């Protein structure tokens, strides 16, 4: 939920967000993501790559912490 909030995906529930990710990158449809599936899936999907990149950009979080 925190990653969704940071990136503006507040219009989706955590479950919907998770389902979207799995639909995009769980290539063998086993309901689990291996590290390989995750990396390959993110590399293939431009929107997901942007989302993950923003997720690891903690500058907005640091600004909130600094401002109290």
Average of pLDDT values for 23-51? 87
Question: Residue 45: inside a domain, yes or no?
Answer: yes
- Does a structural domain hold residue 18? no
Residue 19, in any domain of the structure: no
**Residue 57 belongs to domain spanning:** 30-67
Residue 39 lies in a domain: yes
pLDDT, tens digit (0-9, with 9 covering 90-100), for 15-26: 787 888 888 889
**pLDDT value at 11 more than 80:** no
Q: Give the burial string for 22-60 (b: 16+ CB within 10 Å, else e).
A: beebbeeeeeebeeebeeebbeeeeebeebbeeeeeeee
Fill in the DSSP letter of residue 30: S
DSSP letter for each residue of 2-13: HHHHHHT-TTS-
In a domain? residue 49: yes
Report how many domains make up the chain: 1
For residue 40, is it within any domain? yes
Tokens of 59: 């500058």
> CA 60 to CA 3: how far, in whole Å?
12
Examine residue 7 and state whether it is found in any structural domain, yes or no.
no
């Amino acid at each position: 939920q925190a990653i969704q909030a940071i990136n503006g995906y507040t219009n989706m529930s955590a479950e919907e967000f998770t389902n979207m990710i799995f639909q995009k990158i769980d290539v063998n449809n086993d309901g689990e993501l291996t590290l390989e599936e995750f990396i390959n899936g993110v590399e293939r999907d431009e929107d997901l790559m942007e989302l993950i990149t923003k997720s690891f950009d903690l500058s907005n979080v640091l600004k909130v912490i600094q401002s109290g």
